[in-house]
Structure 1
């Protein structure tokens, strides 16, 4: 993957509906070059542009990182995890554990019930859970703090944007029977209130252009001091404070194993980092933030 591609993906993770004109200006490229590269990235499924509803808006106040160790092949356990509505992310990994999943739920009691269900899956040997106390960097995380009421048209727009975050206002308007300008106003309202976030989801793993590595951190002293530095690194895609066997979890996304190793070494050298444990994402099996909404009666 070229630096151009990586910079373009990074910009689209921040704003999946950014115009070709603004992307070209930000990246110092021509509009033709940006449009061509974006089309290629979309066509070969290197990225998808999706809308994700804020978890707090959905009442999902508990977000947890679940690591699973299995007996034998992990495929059956992975399928069971993917089938659960609570999982938005499932990945086969190399490391101490065999699978990791991110689950989003309303309460801690619901989390306990899900963990019990996972432990009951045949071939599951061990389950270890980290609860996110705050996410300091990452797409599709909670920033909703408002009081927004949706109507039927809003929910229809959200469902369409979950499938294609760059669908045109004209195409949206044809479905909901509104003018493009009226649709634009509604979408802007939903985004400004952080009800929905629109960004790029990138295919990751050895079979794809970029590779991903998770790292658990044990910290000494001030967590904020470490995480405020780490969150500024371009290769860090996600960072969260956690409760459990680690004080924080981060995700590196880089073009090569060498770049992942360099990032890990840089992390280990930070004052305040006492221990790291890393795992390589071998295959991202599920990354799905779409949610269905109840439809209003006619």
Structure 2
């Protein structure tokens, strides 16, 4: 539910009655894990998803019932342990089942939603008829874009859509504007390396992408970024530019070990060339790097779970217990 904060806060501000449906347990396999939520309004507007479509209709009906009655509702959607289909739902395409709870939302969730919308760590404890449910969301991963050209604008849009908290920094105030980067959490006018020197909270979930296209700016910025405890450092440029920049970085004191961390040319080879296609390739490389994935097509993979984030029934039960403690 916290991942829907950007949509829910305006509805709460407008006084729209809301009810959430949240997955509390997973049996065998399901498209989404424990904590996945959708929210419904009285006129059946739906925000979010709990299954990617398999049981959404039943979940919406359950949520509308909770909204109408003001009461907590529980159900299991999918296949039961003996292999039969629950009477409530047609079943999950993956052959598993999910336990869900539906409950009205009130102003008590606002502080957590505000924190989640701002990309900060958020947590809310819900008392649902005497059974506690704790929903948590870690702080959003950070994407720091150095340079404010057209490729940066496209990367900001896609990065924000992918869940990153995006900062754009450029020393040219004419380009680094809120109007050009409405999806950025912050827009900074400063020399990129000077901005990086102010950061004291960068960590392995931070990605730095240098798109300045100016050696006077990108060399000191990369030297600073490669010495920070960030998880990803990338720089855009043609292969000749990359080779020359590597020489300049060595002359600036960057070691071979530090240089080995640099993803440049930046992005996966998707074959596209437009700013949007390039941004997609960059976000894809950042995500693949963060999960130590090889970025192959899923059809070329071996048997087993498609996505590493999917939880087995044991994992899901343990996760639910932890959140309900």
Coarse TM-score class (shorter-chain normalised): under 0.3
For CA contacts below 8 A with separation 6 or more, give which structure has more relative contact order: 1
TM-score, normalization: structure 2? 0.26
Query: Is the strand fraction higher in 1 or 2?
Result: 1
TM-score, normalization: structure 1? 0.27
Rg larger for: 2
